[in-house]
Structure formats: structure tokens, C-alpha cells
Amino acid sequence: MLIKISKSNQLNENSVTDENIYHSRRKAIKQMGFMGAGALLASSFSNQAQAGFFDDEPETFKTTKLNFTSDNNKELIKTPEKKIISHNNFYEFGTNKTDPQEKAQQFNTNPWQLTLSGECDNPHTLDYDDLTKAFPLEERIYRMRCVEAWSMVIPWIGFPLASLIKKAAPNSKAKYVAFETLYDPKQMPGQASRRVGGGVKYPYVEGLRIDEAMNPLTLMSVGLYGKTLPPQNGAPIRLVVPWKYGFKSIKSIVGIKFLTHQPPTTWNILAPKEYGFYANVNPEVSHPRWSQASERRITTGGLFARNRIATLPFNGYGEEVASLYKNLNLKNHF
Ligand SMILES: Nc1nc2c(c(=O)[nH]1)N[C@H]1C(S)=C(S)[C@@H](COP(=O)(O)O)O[C@H]1N2
Ligand SMILES: [Mo]
């Protein structure tokens, strides 16, 4: 194979770091005794084949155009759509980055029901059509920073979670909001097999403090690049919390519940010393096994188009959200 490497794009030590991290995240799972050696081996093989996959694989899922207004955030260079829909974490469909695109195409997201319940005056359920029609849709171009130290810039379509919460009318006891992904092992091979699903306890669950959930940046996303969400990105509706590590942005949500107490969250259950409840992007607080000071921004195509940049506090959204944490020690509450 002939590979042309231009000076500016050379593969250096830094640019492979997040792949190492990915393996090390999986290794931790394995050490906890959740995963067979076979799975780990298979994964490292397909990981090597991953670069070529981005450019060759056709899109097979169906999307629909959406009507929205755009915030036109011009400083951010968007990650190409092809990358956003082919480099995914969605362990319900497998733990390799390419598994969700390969295995989620038959995922049936219509009909769908999203139920709001718990400490609120107006518990209710949204059907599939409500998801794109109940609230005016906006485009929000956000940075997305995975805890594995790669990042993208994604043009999401959605509506503020605050609009949905106001409709549910939480009462004064509601201090936290819990989210739950669909549980359907017949459709989600990772839920049917511990090996495929990486040892995660399903359904995938997440949570926010209610003031975080009400922050205007917090989005319920129903689309990207002007169209409905592909299944691998969390169709038909997922959370986007741009100042937190990507694992907080839970996909394919069926339940939202208002609680008096902090809910358990998936990665915190799996490895509490490594993944906290808050998970605010913080270059000064290292993961126990790797630094969070920089990240690989996924921009244009191919294995060699790698871009190492400094990670920003709160992923660049400090002006909007730092005040939420003025009484919190962010080292202890990582
Ligand atoms: N239900 C569910 N939600 C999930 C995940 C998952 O495995 N299952 N992975 C999380 C992680 S680690 C990241 S980085 C983002 C990835 O979102 P994307 O694939 O749309 O980029 O989804 C998050 N939401
Ligand atoms: Mo992530």
C-alpha cells in the first residue's frame, strides 16, 4: 500500500494517543472481568481497518429534512457529516467505533415514546411526531469532547431541554433529572450479550442536576446536518450537553424522570474512580490513566488528518456554565 504523508499531517506520537486510550478504556473493562479476551483481540483488528472505512462505506439509513433556524456559529469548523455518522460510541450496538453505523441501520425508531415522570405536575408522553413538532427546532453548532480525548464539531438540530422541562412543570422537590435509553435486546445486540455490549449494565442511564438541565445550552437533539438523526447518533432523540464529556449525552431516550436525589449513571457505575457524575470537560483534571489537557479534533478525512489541540475548560462554554459550579470543588466532583 502506498501512503503519502504531507509534513503538516504527519502521524506523530500525539495523534495516536486517543486510540491507546480507547484500548485502555476497554482494558479496564476487561480487568473488571466483564469481557472475554476474544472480543478484545477482534476489536484491535477491526480498529486497524477503521481509517479506510470512513471514506468507502455508503450511508444506508434514511433521514428526513427538518425545518429549523440556525445560530450560525462561524468560528467553528464543522466535522464532516461522514465522520460524525461513522465514528460513534453507542455500546448497545458494539464497542468498536464503526459498530453503530454497521449494526444500527435496522433500528426501529418509529413508533417511539418518550415519557416524562416523577416529581412534576404535568407528567406526559411524547410520541414520535411530537419529537420534531412540539417545539421550534434550532441548529446549534457545538464542540463534542469524548472522555477518550477525541472531539468533533457537530451541527445539531433540536430544542432546549428547558422547553420540555417547563412543559412537565417539575415541583419544588425536583433537584435532579434522570434519563434512560431504550432497553430492547432484540434490537440492540450489545444489550443481549455482555461481550458485545462491553460489560455495561443496561439500560444506559444518565443524569443532570436540574439547573444544568435547565441551562439554555442543554439540548434535546433530533437531527444533525439539517436532517433527522441517523440511528447510530441516537435516533430519534438524544441529549447534548456540550460542556460535559460525551458519555453524558445519552442516546435514544425513552424516559426522563424528576428526582429528589442524584441518580446513578452508567459509566460511574462501571468505573466510579474514573468517571464521575459531573464529567465537566476539564483540562486540569486528568483521567486516572491519561491526561485531558489536549484532544484530537476530528476534521477532514483519513487516518492522517489528525489535529491535536488544547482542551478548553468546560469545553469552551465556561462563560455560560462556570457559575453553576462556583460552590463545587471540581477536582473532587470530576
Ligand atoms: N445510550 C448510549 N448513549 C451514549 C453512549 C452509549 O454507548 N449508549 N455513548 C456515549 C459516548 S461515550 C459518547 S462520546 C457519545 C457519542 O455520540 P456520537 O456517536 O453521536 O458522536 O454518545 C454517548 N451516549
Ligand atoms: Mo465518549
Which one, of 154, 134, 165, lies nearest residue 230 by Cα? 154
Sign of the alpha-carbon torsion through 175, 236, 158, 131: negative
Ligand 1 pocket check: which of 29, 90, 148, 181 to mutate, most ligand atoms within 8 Å of Cβ?
90
Question: Any residues with CB less than 8 A from the CB of 107 and at least 6 apart, and which?
Answer: 93, 187, 188, 231, 235, 252
Nearest CA to ligand 1 atom 5: 90
pLDDT 10s digits, 103-160: 999 999 999 999 999 999 999 999 999 999 999 999 999 999 999 999 999 999 999 9
Query: What pLDDT digit, counting tens, does each position of 290-330 carry?
Result: 999 999 999 865 565 558 999 999 999 999 999 999 999 99
Is the Cβ–Cβ distance between 302 and 237 less than 8 Å?
no
Helix, strand, coil abundance in the chain, percent, nearest 5: 30, 25, 50
- Superfamily of domain 10-325 in the CATH hierarchy: Oxidoreductase, molybdopterin-binding domain (3.90.420.10)
Residue given cell 415519557 in the structure block: 115
Q: Hey, what's the cell of 306? A: 489528525
- Interval between CA 89 and ligand 2 midpoint (Å): 6
Q: Is the CB–ligand 1 distance for residue 314 below 6 Å?
A: no
User: What residue type is assigned to position 155 of the chain?
Assistant: P
Higher per-residue confidence, 227 vs 59? 227
| Gap between the terminal Cα atoms of the chain | 44
CA quadruple 187, 46, 307, 295: dihedral positive or negative? positive
Q: How far, in Å, CA of 43 to CA of 199, rounded?
A: 14
DSSP state of 314: G
Checking if the pLDDT of 26 tops 80, the result is: no
Q: Hey, how many other C-beta atoms are within 10 angstroms of the C-beta on 289? A: 12
pTM check: above 0.75: yes
Specify the ligand 1 atom closest to the Cα of 90: 7
User: Ligand 1: does its nearest atom lie under 6 Å from the Cβ of 101?
Assistant: no
Q: What residue segments make up the domains of the chain, in order of their start?
A: 10-325
Instruction: Give strand pairing partners of 258.
Output: 118, 177
Question: Which helix (H) or strand (E) element contains residue 192?
Answer: helix 189-192
